[in-house]
């Protein structure tokens, strides 16, 4: 079969049962696809593949999504050829970690609500990313540098499955990059915690142990994220088809659209609509299942 429909539930709930898989299989057949006779379970109760031919991937996903209605299952169709990727480029805030670091910093000066509102609009693509970052950074002027350490220690947590995703791909020979429109203070630490090869992010200017309220120029934005994907692939003589990019915000969309496997992870509406694959229910190990890894293959 040239294509596979990957069904993924939430590992915390083992939400993918035989009935759901049978409904998906029937929906593919009803839409006119030639289907594999049985499901290939990558992880019983969590993830499985349904091979199919004769149907466009987008049509397959939409047909199955309608059949499953509100079932808490992620549905992604993709080619079987070249499924495992050799480069991972991942966003940090609200993707590899569960929080937006700048919002948490703002909480220490009583401005979380205001800053988070700007963050939300920027991530939805409603306002210019660079201008929004400069505005939010200015609101932190005078903050003691020690607050950055407190936020990292007290509030930054890896998203479930993050380290397993990175370490499994590394064990299989892939190169991994953490790229963020956030700050290098955090990416340098998350890079180590999750196991990435390297990180790339903006730099918060500090003078005399305090934040100046400025971000060192040039600011890393959507264009730089896309360039990081392209340059990282080129350095390793990889085609873009051999790459995976994941993120949640509008500044991630260009790299998600360019990657061989671009994933919107619990993403803003604009990003979810523009990505070929979206994950709303699974954790970050979903990205391993999308590449055909089985549970027994996982590392980390």
Measured CA to CA, the distance from residue 193 to residue 185 in angstroms comes to 13
Residues counted in the chain = 300
Measured CA to CA, the distance from residue 22 to residue 270 in angstroms comes to 31
> Of all helices (H) and strands (E), which one includes residue 103?
helix 101-107
Confirm if 120 and 177 have CB atoms less than 8 A apart: no
Of 91, 103, 252, 283, which residue is the catalytic one?
A: 91
Measured CA to CA, the distance from residue 167 to residue 299 in angstroms comes to 6
Measured CA to CA, the distance from residue 194 to residue 219 in angstroms comes to 24
Confirm if 217 and 224 have CB atoms less than 8 A apart: no
> Of all helices (H) and strands (E), which one includes residue 79?
strand 74-79
Measured CA to CA, the distance from residue 286 to residue 10 in angstroms comes to 9
Q: At a CB cut-off of 8 Å and minimum separation 6, what does 154 contact?
A: none
Residue 137: both structure tokens together: 């950074």
Q: Sign of dihedral through CA atoms 134, 136, 142, 148? A: negative
| Backbone φ, ψ for residue 85 (5° rounding) | -100, 155
Whether residue 91 lies in the annotated active site: yes
Cis peptide before 48 (omega within 30 of 0): no
Residue 33: both structure tokens together: 């696809």
Measured CA to CA, the distance from residue 93 to residue 266 in angstroms comes to 12
Of 43, 74, 93, 103, which residue is the catalytic one?
A: 93
Residue 21: both structure tokens together: 């898989």
Kindly list the catalytic residues: 91, 93
């Amino acid at each position: 079969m040239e294509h596979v429909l990957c069904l993924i539930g939430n590992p915390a709930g083992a939400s993918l049962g035989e009935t759901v898989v049978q409904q998906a299989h029937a929906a593919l057949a009803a839409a006119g696809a030639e289907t594999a006779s049985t499901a290939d379970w990558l992880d019983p109760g969590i993830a499985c593949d349904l091979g199919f031919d004769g149907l466009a991937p987008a049509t397959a996903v939409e047909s199955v999504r309608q059949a499953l209605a509100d079932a808490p299952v992620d549905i992604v169709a993709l080619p079987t050829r070249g499924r495992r990727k050799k480069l991972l480029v991942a966003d940090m805030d609200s993707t590899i970690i569960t929080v937006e670091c700048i919002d948490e910093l703002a909480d220490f000066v009583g401005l979380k609500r205001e800053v988070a509102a700007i963050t939300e609009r920027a991530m939805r693509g409603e306002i210019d990313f660079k201008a929004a970052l400069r505005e939010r950074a200015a609101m932190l002027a005078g903050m003691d540098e020690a607050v950055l350490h407190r936020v990292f220690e007290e509030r930054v947590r890896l998203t479930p499955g993050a380290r397993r995703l990175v370490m499994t791909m590394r064990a299989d020979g892939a190169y991994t990059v953490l790229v963020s429109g956030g700050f290098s203070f955090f990416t340098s630490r998350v890079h180590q915690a999750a196991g990435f090869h390297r990180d790339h992010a903006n730099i918060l200017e500090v003078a005399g142990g305090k934040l100046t309220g400025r971000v060192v120029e040039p600011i890393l934005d959507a264009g730089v994220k896309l360039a990081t994907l392209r340059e990282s692939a080129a350095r390793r003589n990889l085609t873009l088809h051999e790459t995976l990019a994941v993120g949640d915000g509008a500044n991630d969309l260009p790299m998600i659209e360019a990657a061989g496997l671009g994933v919107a992870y619990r993403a803003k509406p604009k990003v979810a609509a523009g990505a070929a694959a979206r994950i709303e229910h699974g954790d970050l190990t979903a990205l391993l299942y999308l590449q055909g890894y089985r549970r027994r293959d996982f590392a980390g």
